[in-house]
Amino acid sequence: MDTKATLQAQSDLLRRDILTMIAKAASGHPGGSLSAIDMITALYFKVLRHRPSEPEWPDRDRFILSKGHAAPALYAALAHTGYFPVEDLMTLRQFESPLQGHPEKGKLPGVEASTGSLGQGISIGAGMALAARLDQKNYHVYVLVGDGEVNEGQVWEAALFAAHYKIDSLTVLLDCNRQQLDGWTNDILNTDPLASKWRAFGWHVIEIDGHDFDAILSALDEVKTVTGKPTLILAHTVKGKGVSFMENNIEFHGMAPNPEQLQKALLEIAA
């Protein structure tokens, strides 16, 4: 099986776990987890330098899920790469489980930052990447943000900071699924043209299909060749990707599937 097919199979496995854990919890955010999972799969199973058996390895690459409500996607990737047992995924959002609705650093191996208050991830990532420069380390920092999240002013402050200090070990992946909690992003607060804005802020911008593994891996390869500026990967995605009745359906931003919907979704992904 080639790399693309292998990653697609892995991503579909994670999709099934995402839906199953959210359904079991009867709470969670399937739409944005499914739109981001292909990028997260490429990172954890192909790109990141990391050691699940040594989560605090000093030279590891860092990944920050700024859109913390998509925690099921991160948890699935961490479990299947060996940070904790896969069966623990089914404790999502349970009392005293380390798998809470948003990631919390110190509770779960592999979680680099507590996130969920939107807009903070790039600031955290820029700080980590700048620390790498000061410590003469060569690890890379990746931050995944949502397109609704870029409504936050702190995103743009962090973007200015990272460009000013030429933090080229920082890459932001923008999950551009065109929807947020209350509807379509362009209706709530139109931030287009995103690529032009980030370029104007001093970033190297790569625009891709966020569900095409060849495009994702090519972009992540290109990142390593960029010097003197941070990189934004503007990934066009579909909210709820992989499940027909969830795709572009705002209801599933934060609604768990019921048992019948779960079975239908699992059958679609397995097909």
With residue 172 as reference, give the H or E element that holds it: strand 170-176
What residues contact residue 218 under an 8 Å CB cut-off, 6+ apart?
208
What per-residue confidence (pLDDT) applies to 270?
Answer: 75
Residue length of the chain: 271
Q: Using CA atoms, how far apart are residues 236 and 83, in angstroms rounded to an integer?
A: 29
Distance CA 78, CA 86 (A): 9
The torsion region of residue 26 among left (phi > 0), alpha (psi -120 to 50) and beta comes to: left
Tokens, residue 205: 């911008």
User: What is the pLDDT, as a whole number, of residue 24?
Assistant: 98
Enter the CATH code of domain 3-270: 3.40.50.970
Q: Whose CA is closest to 64, among 123, 149, 139?
A: 123
| Residues of the chain predicted below pLDDT 50 | none
Domain ranges of the chain: 3-270
What pLDDT, on the 0 to 100 scale, is given for residue 1?
59
What is the token pair recorded at 220?
Answer: 């992540």
pLDDT at 123: 98
Residue entry with tokens 């919907």: 261
Q: Which residue has the tokens 């936050």?
A: 152
DSSP assignment letter at 197: H
* Residue 203 contacts residue 229 (beta carbons within 8 Å): yes
- Consecutive H or E run containing 69: none
**What pLDDT is recorded for position 2?**
82
Residue 226 Cα to chain centre, angstroms: 21
Q: Which class for 148: exposed (0-12), middle (13-18), buried (19 or more C-beta within 10 A)?
A: buried
Rounded-to-integer distance, Cα 155 and Cα 121, Å: 8
Q: What is the pLDDT of residue 271?
A: 61
Distance CA 201, CA 102 (A): 29
Collect all residues with Cβ–Cβ distance below 8 Å to 34 and sequence separation of at least 6: 15, 18, 73, 239, 240, 241, 242, 243, 246
Q: What pLDDT is recorded for position 168?
A: 98
Whether the model pTM is above 0.85: yes
Tell me the sheet residues that pair with 141.
62, 170
Indicate the residue type of 162. A
Which alpha helices (DSSP H) does the chain contain, by range?
A: 3-25, 30-42, 71-80, 121-134, 153-164, 185-188, 194-200, 213-223, 259-270
